Chain A
Amino acid sequence: MRNIWLIATREFKHYFISPIAYVVSFVFLLVMGILFYANILASSVQQYAPGVQIIIGPMVTLFLFSAPAITMHTLADEQRSGTLELMLTAPVRDSEFVIGKWLGTMMFVMVLIAVTWVYPIVLNQMIDPGIDQGLLVTNYLGLILMVGAFMAIGVTISSLFSNQIAAFFATLGVLLVLWMIGYPSQALGAMGGGGLLTYLDISEHFYSSFYRGIIELKDVVYFISLTSVFLFFGTVSIETKRWR
Chain B
Amino acid sequence: MIQVEKLSKDYGNRRAISDLDFTIEKGEVVGFLGPNGAGKTTTMRILTGYLPPTTGKVEIGGFDILDQSLEVRKLVGYLPETIPLYNDMTVFDYLYYMASLRNIKDREIRIEEITERLGLADRLDGYVGKLSKGMRQRVGLAQAIIHRPEVLILDEPTIGLDPAQIIEVRNLIKEIGNEHTVLLSTHILPEVEQVCDRVLIINNGRIVAEDSTERLQSRLMGSQRIILKIRDDIAEVSSLIASTPGVLSIQQKDDNTMEFETAAGDDARAEVARRVIKAGHDLLELRSISMSLEEIFLELTREDPSANIDEVEEPYETAGRQAE
Question: Which positions in A face B, CB cutoff 8 Å?
Answer: 2-3, 6, 10, 14, 17-18, 81-86, 88-93, 242-243
Contacts and interface: CB of A to CB of B under 8 A. Distances in A.
B82 A85 contact: yes
B99 to A, nearest CB: 10
B74 interface: yes
Given A86-B80, A89-B50, 13 more contacts: A6-B97, A14-B86, A14-B88, A17-B88, A81-B86, A85-B84, A89-B48, A89-B49, A89-B73, A89-B76, A242-B50, A242-B51, A243-B52
Interface in B278-308: none
Which of A17, A84, A85, A92 has most chain B Cβ within 10 Å?
A85
Contact of B102 (A14, A82, A91): A91
A14 B97 CA distance: 13
B52 A242 contact: yes
Contacts of B48: 89
Contacts of A17: 88
A90 B102 contact: yes
B169 interface: no
B143 interface: yes
A84 B84 CA distance: 8
B80 A82 contact: yes
A233 B60 CA distance: 30
Nearest to A10: B97
B166 to A, nearest CB: 23
A100 to B, nearest CB: 10
A91 B78 CA distance: 12
B270 interface: no
A92 B85 contact: no
B50 A85 contact: yes
Given A14-B88, A81-B85, A90 B73 contact: yes
Contacts of B51: 242
Contact of B84 (A82, A91, A93): A82
Query: Is chain B's interface secondary structure helix, strand, loop, or mixed overall?
Result: loop
A6 B80 CA distance: 22
Nearest to A90: B101
Interface in B173-231: none
Nearest to A92: B101
Contacts of B80: 82, 85-86, 89
A84 B50 CA distance: 9
B80 to A, nearest CB: 5
Nearest to A18: B88
A83 B86 CA distance: 7
Interface of B: 45, 48-52, 70, 73-74, 76, 78, 80, 82-89, 97-98, 100-103, 143
B90 to A, nearest CB: 10
Nearest to B47: A89
B88 A91 contact: no
Nearest to B51: A242
Contact of A82 (B76, B83, B89): B83
Contacts of B86: 10, 14, 81, 83
Which of B52, B83, B101 has most chain A Cβ within 10 Å?
B101
A86 B101 CA distance: 11
Contacts of A85: 45, 50, 80, 82, 84
Given A6-B101, A82-B84, A85-B80, A91 B74 contact: yes
B118 to A, nearest CB: 17
Contacts of B82: 82, 85
Contacts of A82: 80, 82-84
Contacts of B87: 81
Contacts of B50: 85, 88-89, 242
Contacts of A81: 84-87
A85 B45 CA distance: 9
A86 B140 CA distance: 10
B192 to A, nearest CB: 24
B52 A90 contact: no
8 contacts: A83-B84, A84-B84, A85-B50, A86-B98, A89-B49, A89-B50, A93-B70, A242-B52
* The 7 nearest A-B residue pairs measured at CB: A86-B84, A82-B82, A89-B48, A83-B84, A91-B73, A91-B74, A82-B84
A79 to B, nearest CB: 11
B40 to A, nearest CB: 15
Contacts of B74: 91
Given A85-B82, A243-B52, A90 B88 contact: no
Contacts of B49: 88-89
Contacts of A86: 78, 80, 84, 98, 143
Nearest to A88: B50
Contact of B98 (A14, A84, A90): A90
Contacts of B45: 85
A17 B94 CA distance: 14
A162 B182 CA distance: 32
Contacts of B101: 3, 6, 90-92
